[in-house]
Structure 1
Amino acid sequence: MTTFHIAPVDHHITAALQHKIDNKTKPLGALGQLEGLALKIGRIQQTLTPTLSKPAMVIFAGDHGIAHEGVSPFPQEVTYQMVFNFLQGGAAINVFARQHNMDIRVVDAGVNFDFNGHPGLIHAKVAMGTKSFLHEAAMTQAECETAIEKGATIVKALHEQGCNVIGFGEMGIANTSAASVIMSLLCNIPLEQCIGRGTGLDDEGLIRKKVILAEAMIRHNRIEKTPLNVLSTFGGFEIAMMCGAMLQAAASGMVILADGFITTAALLVASGMYPAVLDYTIFTHQSNEQGHRLMLAHMKAVPLLDLGMRLGEGTGAAVAYPVIQAAVNFLNEMASFESAGVSNKA
């Protein structure tokens, strides 16, 4: 298992950053969350003049055996079809990433489809999808560790190319089921409060999803509830790979942009293993998927946006990116009272 060296962010620079923020030509605190963002990014980078370099969105795709149990209104084939849509530039994440000049990388973490070396796709497949955790563990611990390591390798390469701010997205039919169980076990929240409609289940479908996931939790109720065990028993290859990617991003001192429900479930696992990963994380938005609000509250996270989105793909992170840019820009470019010749309050 890869060991990550993630140091908690050094707070010695906090006073100098706060002084710089407070002496901009504005009332104290007038830029609200932007001020906290600027402070956080400055601390991550340990500088009074932070920069956002070569922003990237990495989309991990993987299939889930639990999809065959009827927990999603969409067939599993949609996963690989959406991967092609990402590669062709036609998905929502492509639109938003183009708008903000963010690089997109699409990763086959474990899709039940042979892409035959398709150019433009990062081929990191662990297996042709996970097993159905209604009947057995979704993956072996070895497979889970392999996925974590592959995610770390992808991010390490991006960092070496000059990227210092990275967002993560996912695609995988039935992955809200995996995330719901992970959330319930790691947050100690009743399963019923963690389950949402996913890709649009009707009332009958939602009831079925709750019954199946409850049965699955009973089947595996004797597992040790460590983050790694929960991930390997119920997770997806895309969730495990995201977990490794986040840990490597933090170890590399990068700014991490957490997206919605699935991405935050991966972060929940990552932070259970290495709590300091949260020092490097910006929570970009609150998903409209039922469990996300409670998951964010459990992590004491205040999301930047709440637009009622629940698409996944990293769309919330991409939409929030200009807000993050604004925080860095005001810190670097806005005049101080002294430089502008403006009188400060008495």
Structure 2
Amino acid sequence: MQLTSLTDILSLIPDLPRADEAARAAAARRQDSLTKPPGSLGRLEDLALFMAGWRGTARPQIDRAQALVFAGNHGICAQGVNPYPQEVTAQMVANFDRGGAAINQLCRVANADLRVIALDLERPTADFTAGAAMTEGETLDALNCGAAAVDSEADVLVLGEMGIGNSTVAAALAAALFGGDPADWVGPGTGSDTAGIARKITVIEAGLARHRGLDAMATLAAFGGREQAAICGAVLAARAAQIPVILDGFICTAAAAVLYVVDPQLLDHCLVGHVSAEPGHRKLLAALGKSPVLAFDMRLGEGSGAVLALGIVRAALACHNGMATFGEAGVSSA
């Protein structure tokens, strides 16, 4: 998939695959035949049916799980919205590459292939209080980079991000896309104190005053970072390949929300791995109509909550595929 303009997404929508309802129905019949009361595994059953629909088979398996973490730097950091210097983004990417971060350990446990993609870290986006964060060309480059990173042979895609200042970007995107008081979307991020949170709110209000009346993709360019655009590109490429996606927390969900505003069906193949401790995430999930797989009070980013949720999805499929039916087990059914 190669986008040549931000409006290309609209032309993609009619041809994007939908969930295979026949496969989902066959999976539901299997669930009803397993040695358990109907519905007794709760959301594990829902997750199995979700995977069946998007993988197009009544008995889906995860043989290949891909985890992508996109990293970017942000011009808005010039406004003092983060207690850490931007150098930390590159330092953390190096830590990922050495295997020393939380996401490395979680991917190992979850049997997910991790790839970390740094996006022009030496060239931060522009300060969105002074102008658009990215040009259309920069936005397209990041979108296409995210799309190209998706393994078309993967059975599931886990998405995460890294970028000093990107909790401010996420709050600005959410406020621009869904409205409301900017204060409702802003949280501590990597550890901002009360004064730091107030600074974020002021900066976002200035950005919203400058960038009014934009469509969703122009909003992405106005406020977003390269990692947010790359997440959107990866979500679209996964959809084209009928690969289900597990989104991480507030920042990742806010990036994907751009596509929801373009057309809600663009996120039909996406799960949200967890609800972040960032206060804006619950509000954002309500706007998207999404229920998180987990609520573990996490706010690390990196894809950490999404990879943790992958383990739950694997458990759902283990039960779905491995349990005996009433007939196989010789157990009387109702």
Taking structure 2 as the reference length, the TM-score comes to 0.94
Segments of structure 2 that go 5 or more residues without pairing to the other structure are: none
Correspondent of 2:46 among 36, 56, 61? 36
Counterparts of residues 138-149 of structure 1 (less than 5 Å):
138-149=133-144
Query: Do residues 167 (structure 1) and 183 (structure 2) align?
Result: no
Query: Do residues 134 (structure 1) and 129 (structure 2) align?
Result: yes
Q: Is this contact kept in 2: 1:6–1:274, CA < 8 A?
A: no
Question: 1:250 and 1:189 mapped to 2: Cα distance?
Answer: 30
Cα displacement string for residues 177-223 of structure 1 (whole angstroms, at most 9, x for unaligned residues)? 111111112122321111111111111111111111111211223xx
C-alpha displacement of 1:251: 0.8
Query: Do residues 242 (structure 1) and 204 (structure 2) align?
Result: no
Correspondent of 2:243 among 249, 254, 272? 254
Q: What is residue 208 of structure 1 aligned with on the other side?
A: 199
Query: Do residues 191 (structure 1) and 182 (structure 2) align?
Result: yes
Is the partner of 2:146 in helix, strand or coil? helix
- Same amino acid, percent of matched pairs: 40
* RMSD of equivalent CA atoms: 1.3
Cα displacement string for residues 238-286 of structure 1 (whole angstroms, at most 9, x for unaligned residues)? 1001110111011101110111011101210122334333221111100
Q: Is this contact kept in 2: 1:259–1:315, CA < 8 A?
A: yes
Q: Which amino acid aligns with 1:313?
A: E
Is the partner of 1:36 in helix, strand or coil? helix
Q: What is residue 318 of structure 1 aligned with on the other side?
A: 307
Is the partner of 1:12 in helix, strand or coil? helix
C-alpha displacement of 1:327: 1.0
Query: Do residues 102 (structure 1) and 115 (structure 2) align?
Result: no
Query: Do residues 18 (structure 1) and 13 (structure 2) align?
Result: no
Q: Is this contact kept in 2: 1:110–1:238, CA < 8 A?
A: no
C-alpha displacement of 1:141: 1.2
Is the partner of 2:316 in helix, strand or coil? helix
Cα displacement string for residues 44-81 of structure 1 (whole angstroms, at most 9, x for unaligned residues)? 11211101122111110000000111111111111111
C-alpha displacement of 1:13: 3.2
Q: Which amino acid aligns with 2:93?
A: V
Q: What is residue 80 of structure 2 aligned with on the other side?
A: 70
Correspondent of 1:339 among 304, 328, 334? 328
Q: Is this contact kept in 1: 2:55–2:155, CA < 8 A?
A: no
Q: What is residue 267 of structure 2 aligned with on the other side?
A: 278
Segments of structure 1 that go 5 or more residues without pairing to the other structure are: 113-127
Q: What is residue 208 of structure 2 aligned with on the other side?
A: 217
Is the partner of 2:90 in helix, strand or coil? helix
Question: 1:225 and 1:188 mapped to 2: Cα distance?
Answer: 13
Q: What is residue 60 of structure 2 aligned with on the other side?
A: 50
Q: Is this contact kept in 2: 1:138–1:236, CA < 8 A?
A: yes
Q: What is residue 147 of structure 2 aligned with on the other side?
A: 152
Cα displacement string for residues 9-34 of structure 1 (whole angstroms, at most 9, x for unaligned residues)? 23233332211111110011100100
Is the partner of 1:170 in helix, strand or coil? strand
Q: Is this contact kept in 1: 2:167–2:251, CA < 8 A?
A: yes
Question: 1:269 and 1:283 mapped to 2: Cα distance?
Answer: 15
Q: Is this contact kept in 2: 1:56–1:165, CA < 8 A?
A: yes
Is the partner of 1:264 in helix, strand or coil? helix
Paired residues in the alignment total 324
Taking structure 1 as the reference length, the TM-score comes to 0.91
Q: Is this contact kept in 2: 1:6–1:276, CA < 8 A?
A: no
Structure 1: 4+ residue segments shifted above 6 A: none
Q: What is residue 122 of structure 1 aligned with on the other side?
A: none
